[in-house]
Amino acid sequence: MTGRPYRRRKNVTVVSLLLLVLAMALGPTPSSAAGTDWWTPSARPAPDSRINVTGEPFKGTNSAGEVRGFVDAHNHVMSNEAFGGRLICGKPFSAAGVTDALKDCPEHYPDGTLAIFDYITHGGDGRHDPVGWPTFKDWPAYDSMTHQANYYAWLERAWRGGQRVLVNDLVTNGVICSVYFFKDRGCDEMTSIRLQAKLTYDMQDFIDTMYGGAGKGWFRIVTDSAQARTVIQQGKLAVILGVETSEPFGCKQILDVPQCSKADIDKGLDELYDLGVRSMFLCHKFDNALCGVRFDEHGLGTAINVGQFLSTGTFWQTEKCTGPQKDNPIGQAEASEAEADLPEGTEVPEYDENAQCNVRGLTGLGEYALRGMMKRKMMVEIDHMSVKATGRVLDIFEAGSYPGVLSSHSWMDLNWTERVYSLGGFVAQYMHGSEEFSAEAERTDALREKYGVGYGYGTDFNGIGEHPAPRGANTSKPVTYPFKSADGTATIDRQTTGERTWDYNTDGAAHAGMIPDWIEDIRLVGGQGVVDDLLRGAESYLDTWGGTEQHQAGVNLAKNAPATASSAESNPFTSYAPGRAVDGDTGTRWASDWNDDQWLRIDLGATHRVGRVTLDWERAYGKSYRIDLSTDGVTWQTAWSTTAGDGGLDTARFTGTPARYVRVQGVARGTDWGYSLHEVGVHSS
């Protein structure tokens, strides 16, 4: 009796095993049937785009504890909601599915004749087949400016191909919105920014639903570097919110009169931070109340300059540059559609080709906003800032040892690169074609080696810029499908959406899903070393972010300390006494008599180890001067000196030295006036 039930159970077990083996041989695997692989959704909408990548996304850290992965440091996932909502056609996701998400703007039917923005900025007649899903005959394409390139499944393909950081810059422009013929909403910039932030969170929820609930999807919005590291270690995509807009917080200027206040700036920064924004441009395209911009070139430059006039009442103004850095030359090409918007009798001015720098730099309100971002531990984007504004920002960051500086898509003068790296900042290059991208990567390779940093790219998808063109089916080094991902864990084939299959050799970088193909092209053209630097991009970006979060403002030992000077300029209406240079107010200053041999001495009250002195010069600056230190006020030693002072904000760094007294000793003036300092800071390091 005891043996018979045992035999029955054994027979049932044998039959079950046979059935299981048969099912495995004839049926789908558990992962493909039920989405048990963590990277495979269990409920993807149908129909939908294919991903065309197989293999588990890499996760974890390397032997040094560093994360790996690529960084898209500049993308505009939600810009279809910008500029009045009808400039970029199609959506990155839709609850109604791909047929709703990937369709053209109604005014583009039947043949694209009214795709006006395309031919305003890039010429041609804008005509195209407007049908998106499922045929995609003419879009998305590498040179299509106004069609969705960031569909969520294409972003998923970029993630599966090795991307681990995506910066979603919330973007708009009120003037472009107001003059564009088609719109379905208002043009207030901050209203658009709020909507784009909300929709980014909605897209996260949309993707989470496919994976079984909140927090389970691969698209993870992060608000600090520790969160980002955790997400990347899990093999997922860390999404960071940034802002790139022309009039943040309403800070435009009209005829050089600011239209915002310090209170507006504080309120705006607090709101953006609460939305999750951690990086930001202070100005973009148009001079505003915060800073002057770097110019656009060619016909687009003329069109943007028209917008500058319509927004501010003034055209760009130029001057000769004082250093090797330059703003872009303003394009002289016509932009007839844009120029038609100018008032009768108003023309875009002509510019001296030898004067390529914007006269406008960082304004007083701009400096207030910059320091407000520093207090909130936010990262500052310097692309689009004028040379004059960028120089001041870097001076301020160097004075405070603040690492939070980003150049995300090749819009700063390249001569700033080492200053950015020396601060601990991060640099990415625009998504140029593989030849150009590789050449620029090679040019800056020694700097990355010197500072031990990785590299990034800024795709600017949906940002009204062209992308890498096809190199041709007959190129000497074509991308061969399928190929292995850069880390070797995934296999990548041609990407298919609906009835269209894209091949990088013949289609170029048509949408965000082609990023892995573009990186493979870079490997073939530029070599594995460039790709290796890109794979270190995630770690370097998070190093910059983490350093920004951990930054502590140094104590200014000189603030309100007793100060004496060799002389002080006499004025019946205001004081230029020595104490004005240490009162913590950059609106006051010390000014000396008008001769070379002048000094300012500060008594710190006790002996400290001094290693850094900052000097914020007024227009009357020192060309040759030195920093002397003393413990008793009698015996002095020179800690630092220069004969090449150029004004602005100087930072003198030297080996930490015990001192109670600090003296700024003028040797030669940079102007016919004396020496004049708004503020002197003394720091222990």
CATH number at residue 608: 2.60.120.260
Q: Is residue 260, in this structure, part of any structural domain at all? A: yes
Is residue 524 within 8 Å of residue 484, measured between CB atoms? no
Same domain, 374 and 260: yes
Asked if residue 510 is part of any domain, the answer here is: yes
Which pLDDT tens digit goes with each residue over 255-273?
999 999 999 999 999 999 9
Look up tokens 């030898």; give the residue.
Answer: 354
Whether the CB-CB separation of 383 and 279 falls below 8 Å is answered with no
Chain CA centroid to CA 55, Å: 31
d(CA 610, CA 45) in angstroms, rounded, equals 63
- Same structural domain, 411 and 496: yes
Q: Is position 460 within any domain? A: yes
Residue at which a domain ends, from 485, 518, 550: 550
Residue 646 and residue 596 share a domain? yes
Are both 480 and 629 inside the same structural domain? no
What is the mean predicted confidence (pLDDT) over 479-504?
97
- In the prediction, which pLDDT does 512 show? 98
What pLDDT sits at residue 121? 63
- Of 307 and 166, the one with more pLDDT: 166
On whether residue 587 sits in a domain, the answer given is: yes
Kindly state whether residue 241 falls inside one of the protein's structural domains: yes
Q: What does the pLDDT read at residue 331? A: 67
Last residue of a domain, one of 339, 355, 371: 355
What is the total count of domains within the chain?
3
Do 215 and 305 have their domain in common? no
Q: What is the DSSP letter of 293?
A: B
Is residue 405 situated within a structural domain?
yes
Determine the average pLDDT of the residues in 577-592. Answer: 96
Domain residues for the domain of 196 are: 73-86+142-284+360-550
* Torsion 464-238-158-163 (CA) sign: positive
| Cα distances (Å, whole numbers) of residue 112 to 85, 105, 133, 633 | 17, 9, 16, 78
Same domain for 390 and 530?
Answer: yes
Lowest model confidence (mean pLDDT) among 13-27, 179-193, 196-210, 453-467: 13-27
SS3 labels along 221-243:
ECCCHHHHHHHHHCCCEEEEEEE
| pLDDT class of 123 with cuts at 50, 70, 90 | low
Place of tokens 């018979």: 4
Instruction: Give yes or no: residues 482 and 535 share one domain.
Output: yes
Rounded CA-CA distance 295/314 in Å is 14
| Residue where a domain stops, chosen among 518, 550, 582 | 550
Q: Is the pLDDT of residue 660 over 60?
A: yes
Q: Specify the pLDDT at position 122.
A: 65
Average pLDDT over residues 557-579: 96
- Are 231 and 310 found together in one domain? no
pLDDT for the residue 341: 83
Task: Specify the amino acid at residue 682.
Answer: V
Residue 346 domain-assigned?
yes
Tell me, yes or no, whether 629 and 523 share the same domain.
no
Average pLDDT on 638-648 reads 96
Please report the pLDDT score of residue 553 as a whole number. 85
Mean pLDDT of 302-315: 92
- The answer to the question of residue 458 being in a domain is yes
Tell me the CA distances in angstroms from 586 to 69, 392, 499, 578, 677, one per residue in order.
43, 14, 63, 13, 9
Residue 61 vs residues 96, 144, 165, 286, 545: alpha-carbon distances, Å: 38, 38, 15, 42, 18
| Mean pLDDT score across all residues of the chain | 92
Q: What pLDDT shows up at residue 5?
A: 35
pLDDT higher for 341 or 78?
78
CATH assignment of the domain containing 448? 3.20.20.140
Residues 479 and 573 in one domain: no
| 8 pLDDT more than 70 | no
Q: Is the pLDDT of residue 195 over 50?
A: yes
Give per-residue pLDDT as tens, 503-539: 999 999 999 999 999 999 999 999 999 999 999 999 9
pLDDT reading at 13 higher than 70: no
Q: Which two tokens stand for residue 639?
A: 């800690």
In tens, the pLDDT along 41-75 reads 999 999 999 999 999 999 999 989 999 999 999 99
User: Tens digit of pLDDT for each residue in 392-415?
Assistant: 999 999 999 999 999 999 999 999
Mean pLDDT of 557-565: 97
Half-sphere exposure of 28 (CA within 13 A, CB side): 7
Q: Which of 115-129, 221-235, 613-627 has the lowest mean pLDDT?
A: 115-129
* pLDDT > 90: percent of the chain: 84
Burial of residue 50, with CB atoms counted within 10 A of its CB: 0-12 exposed, 13-18 middle, 19 or more buried: middle
**Helix/strand/coil for 278:** strand
First CA to last CA across the chain, in angstroms? 88
Q: pLDDT at position 25, please?
A: 34
Q: How confident is the model at residue 591 (pLDDT cuts 50, 70, 90)?
A: very high
Does residue 419 sit in the same domain as residue 309? no
Inform me whether the pLDDT recorded for 6 exceeds 60: no
- The reply to whether 277 and 344 lie within a common domain is no
Count other C-beta atoms under 10 Å from residue 149's C-beta: 31
Which has more confidence, 16 or 484? 484
Nearest to 607 by CA among 656, 559, 566, 653: 656
- Provide the whole-model pTM: 0.90
Alpha-carbon span 337 to 627, nearest angstrom: 57
